[in-house]
Structures are given as C-alpha cells and as structure tokens.
Amino acid sequence: MSRWSDAVHGIKPATVPLLRADPHRWGVGLVHRIDDERDQLMCGKTPANCPGDRYQGAASEITCKSCLRSIEAKANYQARITEWARQDREREESRKLWWQRYNAYLISPEWRRKRALVLKRAGGICEGCGDKGAIQVHHLKYPTDCWPGSADWIAKEKLFDLRAVCIACHDDVHGGSA
C-alpha cells in the first residue's frame, strides 16, 4: 500500500528515530536506527561520534548493515523470550493438572488396595526407621509417560517402588513437606 492510500484510509505509517550520517571520506553517510533507551545507534556507535541529521522515518530507510543485524537480533531475542514464557505457562499448567490427577488417584480404590498391600508387607513397621508404626506409603519413583490414575499408571506402579513409612520418615524424605 502506498503512503497516499494509507493516509486516505487513516493509517499512519510507523516511524522510528533515525540518523542520516553526513558523507565522509569512507563513503556516503548511512542511515542508522537510534536506540533512544541507550542513546546510541543500534550498531553501537554514539550519535556524537556519527555526525548527521536526526529525524523520524520508516525502518525501511535504514542502510547500516550493523544496525539491521542488531534490530534482527533484538527481534529474535524478544521472540525467544515470548516462546520461553509460553513454555513456562504450559509447564505450570501441566504440573497443576498432574497434581490434580495425583491427588484424585490417592483417594481411588486402586490406590487404597496398593497402599493396604504395602502396609501389610511391612507388617505395620516403618521401612525407613524400622521403629515406628507405618501409616503412609512413599513412592520411590513415579511411573513415567502417563497420567496419575490412568490405566497405564496403575499397570506401571509396582509394589517394589512403594515403601511403608512413618510420618517422620516421610517428612524427612520430602524435606519436611510430605
């Protein structure tokens, strides 16, 4: 779309702060993008060391290759930051869902049956300290690649991966958070 048609439709082209460097003995002056946050050009030069005229213009006017590379790198960095934030949100949602399903599994008949078998195997004695009465069951490892309570989880959850423990030993294993 041309600038004329943009103006007719009420769309104003985006402008950015630019510096058109004065011609010098190494060649014609290039057009640089000014980074107002740092008060320097995107290529790293300071405006004081690059005499020329400041003005507002379209990003398409930039001719300094270093400025263009810096602009591209900054855009790529912002895209990565956005992607990392999205991945963090997905991981957090997945973690919440895992714990919801795990807590639901802990009140299921399947878990109550396995828990009873583990406590019976231990003879009611803590397998951690061998002293106190065992009233909780600790997972040595959780089944992988499946959701808690699913048929796959139940099939993968083996009794030898479960231990009967007292509250103190269970708290100790979990760093005081069981």
For 145-157, what is each residue's pLDDT tens digit? 999 999 999 999 9
- Give a yes or no: residue 178 inside a domain: no
Confidence grade of residue 126 (pLDDT, cut at 50, 70, 90)? very high
Q: Take residue 52 and report the two structure tokens written for it.
A: 């020329």
- Pairing relation of β-strands 52-57 and 16-21? antiparallel
Residue 137, burial from CB neighbour count under 10 angstroms (0-12, 13-18, 19+): buried
Domain range for 87 is 1-99
For 66-80, what is each residue's pLDDT tens digit? 999 999 999 999 999
Domain final position from 72, 99, 126? 99
46-58: average pLDDT:
90
Domain final position from 70, 99, 128? 99
**Same domain, yes or no: 93 and 117:** no
Residue 38 pLDDT: 87
Total domains present in the chain: 2
Residue 143 pLDDT: 96
